[in-house]
Chains A and B, each alone.
Chain A
Amino acid sequence: MTTEARLDFLPSRDGTIRLSLSGRIEVEHLATIAAPLEDFPLPASGGSLVMDMTAADTLDTAGAIMILRMERRCAAAGIAFSLSGLHNSAAQFLAHIRSIGEEKTPPPPIPHPVLELLERTGRATFHLLAEIRDILGFFGMLSITLIQSLRHPSRLRGGAILTHMEQVGLNALPIVGLLSFLIGVVLAYQGADQLQKFGAELLVVNILGVSILREIGILITAIIVAGRSGSAFTAQIGTMKVNQEIDAMLAMGLSPIEYLVQPRIFALVLTLPLLAFYADITALIGGATMCYMSLDITYDQFLLQFQNFIKLRTLLVGLVKAPFFAFAIAMIGCYQGLKVSGSAESVGRLTTKSVVQSIFLVIALDALFSIIFAKLHL
């Protein structure tokens, strides 16, 4: 390897500034010479500058641009610029780089921050309203096709429904079971801690029963399913959209709603109540285990207390919410999947959005149910 690039300032002669470039004038060696050259003070009084390149071995685009910048600076300062000792091929190369022009466009102006904030707020509001409108539209279309296919059950795709039930239900059993068991443990521990102060340990069973059966069991299950299956629906349908499979279906006269959306919705609506029931049971087992370990409430006592104070209605009030949550999760998952545009990047973005929206909807629906049940004195 030859020496790296060097820049030398030679003594000036007859008012001529003399610089010398030597070595490899290439982009990877420029760092040491570019800054001194850029910062080199040019006299305001005119005169001339000679850049000696006799000892320059190579010249690449970046090096040529560096020299051309110096040339322009000299021209602007009214200084005569000349190169000496340039190899023939390097001179041609420099001329070529000079010829490709230096047209530049300024970066787009940065808008005023307050105006930009206002603009973004307005834009976001419009997007939100448009999205609510679109989701309502999708909900309407879905309702109509669902009612139609319930009237013609032979058009339901049983195989697909079963496959999706396996994916969203059976395959979710381990994670749903583990998490609800742990939630049961945590609730029992916190309840026991407080109730022990009043000597009312046994009431922890009532607290566990009511909170798990009415709220926690179904809510935890719905949130896990939204993160696990709602996102999967968006990703699956979105990937099909990117691959133009949806376009192919439409071109063949197949309805994506019937083939892709309906089976997922039916599967989730049928599965989520079962999953929620399973979560209720494992959470109660977790609570009972904790009661036995930290409060010495035996499993028999736990069951007796549970039987005496918890009514079947409590369980049903919890489970009746499941199909509604399931519908919301599946609908949002499929809707966002169908909204995917050409790029793979939008699959990722909309999958995130789908999870956020479906969890939001689940909790909002839960609040709505609370109000309804309170009014009905359930």
Chain B
Amino acid sequence: MTEPPVISIRGLVSRFGSHLIHDGIDLDVNRGEILGLVGASGSGKSVLLRCAIGLMPTTAGHIEILGHVTGQMGDNEAKTLRHHWGVLFQDGALFSSLTVGENIEIALKQLPELPAALVTDIIHAKIALVGLPADAVHKYPSQLSGGMRKRAGLARALALDPDILFLDEPTAGLDPIGASAFDELILQLRESLGLTVFMVTHDIDSLARICDRIAVLVDKKLIVDTLPHLLEIPHPWVHDYFHGPRSHAAHIGE
């Protein structure tokens, strides 16, 4: 394995005013991997994701994505890099004044112009890819259910065939059937599109089912390992997290 990691974070420090959120975080995500990020509410999981995609400035540290050091890039380099990742925000964050199809189209419009017929085909393929019915393309986000909005958000994130997919609590607010269907979809997309997935989640079932490795954010630091190894870590929060009643319900640690 000589290929460098797709995402490489070294010594990340971030703070809100005087409040320290991350104190020296190191993380590598390898190509084709699904990494789950967990932590207590308010521990800065989403902040870490926002730092990684450059929506939030960091106080110190080094973030390298696909060989580009974020924060040291020119505007053009940053723009190109953004075409190589897709982000799914919590409730999809679809543009409410546009239909699902137009939401995907607007992502494609950032590139040099493609023939209109090809664009239409690409949009329909992305919608089919995330398992939405074909008629969703002309619907507005307000006409979709929560689960469909997430799928539509995922279709938009996949519009430019990214290498990396950032997911912020992809299964939150979905019923268990919808949530496991979404997990299945992520696995399938990783398989077919060769995606690297970085997901923030609270869903212990998703963790057990689809994540190759898990990063636990405790005491402003990260502990990264595979699930079986994490189960043996004596840290009280980590222990409680993976040995709690909910974990047992998900058949973790049995």
- Contacting residues of chain B (93-132) with chain A, CB-CB under 8 angstroms: 96, 108, 111-115, 117-118, 120-122, 124-126, 128-129
Q: Report A214-244 CB contacts with B as 1/0, cut-off 8 Å.
A: 0000000000000000000000000000000
For B113, list chain A residues within 8 Å (CB). Answer: 31
Known contacts being A61-B126, A61-B161, is A35 close to B135, with CB within 8 Å?
no
Main secondary structure of the interface of B (DSSP, over half): helix
For B96, list chain A residues within 8 Å (CB). Answer: 343, 345
**Complex: how many Å from CA A357 to CA B3?**
64
For A104, list chain B residues within 8 Å (CB). Answer: 120, 124, 134
For B124, list chain A residues within 8 Å (CB). Answer: 102-104
- Contacting residues of chain A (102-135) with chain B, CB-CB under 8 angstroms: 102-105, 107-108
Q: Contact at A65–B125, with CB atoms within 8 Å?
A: yes
The bracket for how many chain A residues form the interface is 20 to 34
Q: Contact at B125–A27, with CB atoms within 8 Å?
A: no
> Which partner residue on chain A sits nearest B84 by CB separation?
A28
**Is A15 an interface residue, CB under 8 A from the partner?**
no
Q: Contact at B118–A65, with CB atoms within 8 Å?
A: yes
Q: Contact at B161–A69, with CB atoms within 8 Å?
A: no
Q: Report B150-168 CB contacts with A as 1/0, cut-off 8 Å.
A: 0000000010110000000
> Which partner residue on chain A sits nearest B193 by CB separation?
A61
> Which partner residue on chain B sits nearest A92 by CB separation?
B192
**Is B250 an interface residue, CB under 8 A from the partner?**
no
**Complex: how many Å from CA A354 to CA B126?**
41
Q: Contact at B111–A31, with CB atoms within 8 Å?
A: yes
Q: Report B129-153 CB contacts with A as 1/0, cut-off 8 Å.
A: 1000011011000100000000000
> Which partner residue on chain A sits nearest B192 by CB separation?
A96
Identify which of B108, B117, B121 contacts A27 (C-beta below 8 A).
B108
- Distance to closest chain B CB from A330 (angstroms): 30
- Distance to closest chain A CB from B21 (angstroms): 26
Count the A-B residue pairs with Cβ separation under 8 angstroms: how many? Answer: 75
**Is B213 an interface residue, CB under 8 A from the partner?**
no
Main secondary structure of the interface of A (DSSP, over half): helix
**Is A207 an interface residue, CB under 8 A from the partner?**
no
**Complex: how many Å from CA A66 to CA B122?**
9
Q: Contact at A61–B129, with CB atoms within 8 Å?
A: yes
**Complex: how many Å from CA A373 to CA B124?**
67
For B120, list chain A residues within 8 Å (CB). Answer: 104
For A343, list chain B residues within 8 Å (CB). Answer: 96, 142
Q: Contact at A34–B118, with CB atoms within 8 Å?
A: yes
**Is A166 an interface residue, CB under 8 A from the partner?**
no
Q: Can you list 14 A-B contacts with CB-CB less than 8 angstroms, sorted by A residue number?
A: A26-B161, A38-B115, A60-B161, A60-B193, A62-B114, A65-B122, A97-B125, A100-B129, A101-B128, A102-B125, A103-B124, A103-B128, A104-B134, A343-B142
Given contacts A30-B118, A69-B117, A96-B192, 16 further A-B contacts (CB under 8 A): A27-B122, A31-B112, A35-B115, A61-B125, A62-B122, A65-B121, A65-B122, A69-B121, A100-B128, A100-B129, A102-B128, A104-B134, A105-B137, A105-B138, A343-B142, A345-B96
